[in-house]
Amino acid sequence: MTIRQRYWEDVQIGEEIPAMRFPLSIARLVMAAGANRDFNSIHHNSAYAQETGAPDMYANIIFLLGMWEKAAREFIGLSGTIRSVKDFRMKIFNTVGDTVVVKGYVSSKWQEGNESFVSIRIWSENSKGISVGPGQVVITLPTKAGLSDKSHEFWPGFSSPIPE
C-alpha cells in the first residue's frame, strides 16, 4: 500500500480519516505482546485472563495506541509528524475474536510560526461500542509552499535511496 502525502492546505475541518480495521486473532495478540515485551498472560491466555475477571484475552495498551498511530499515519503521510496523543483511555476490553475499528475526523487546523497543525478527534470501536477514547492526535503537516527545492528529499537531510 502506498501512503499518500497530505498537505495542510488540502485538509478540511470535518473531514473523516479512513477507518482502519484490526481483527484480533490469537496470533495477532501473541505477536503484539511479544513485540512490546508485555508478557502478562492476560494478553495471550484466555483461561488466565478469565480468572482475573476479563471476558477473554485482550489487546494491551501499546497495541491499541499503535492502532491510533497507524490510522493517523495513513491519513497524514510520511512527512507529517505526530506531535501528541491525548485522552487515550481504554473503556472496555478489546478481546480475541473481535475487530477493533479506528475512526476519526479533523476537528481543527491552525498555524503557529512556520508550523502547520491539524487536530484529529479519534477513537476505537469494537462490537460492544467505543472501546478507547475518544481522544485527540495533534499532527503537523508540510505545506505546498514549503516544497520548493526540498521535494526530492526522502527524509529531511537525506536523499531518496531510490534512484531517479
Residue-wise pLDDT tens digits, 66-104 = 999 999 999 999 999 999 999 999 999 999 999 999 999
Give 156's pLDDT tier (boundaries 50, 70, 90): low
pTM (predicted TM-score): 0.84
Question: Which value, to the nearest 10 degrees, does the dihedral of the CA atoms of residues 69, 74, 78, 83 take?
Answer: -30
User: Which domains are assigned to the chain?
Assistant: 8-24+64-144 (3.10.129.10)
Burial bucket for residue 41 (CB in 10 Å: 0-12, 13-18, 19+): middle
State the number of CA atoms in the 13 A half-sphere of 9 facing the CB: 5
Q: Which cell numbers in the block locate residue 86?
A: 491525548
Q: Read off the pLDDT of residues 20-78 as tens digits, 9 standing for 90 and up.
A: 999 999 999 988 888 888 888 888 889 999 999 999 999 999 999 999 999 999 999 99
Element (H, E) at 23: strand 16-23
For 104-135, what is each residue's pLDDT tens digit?
999 999 999 999 999 999 999 999 999 999 99
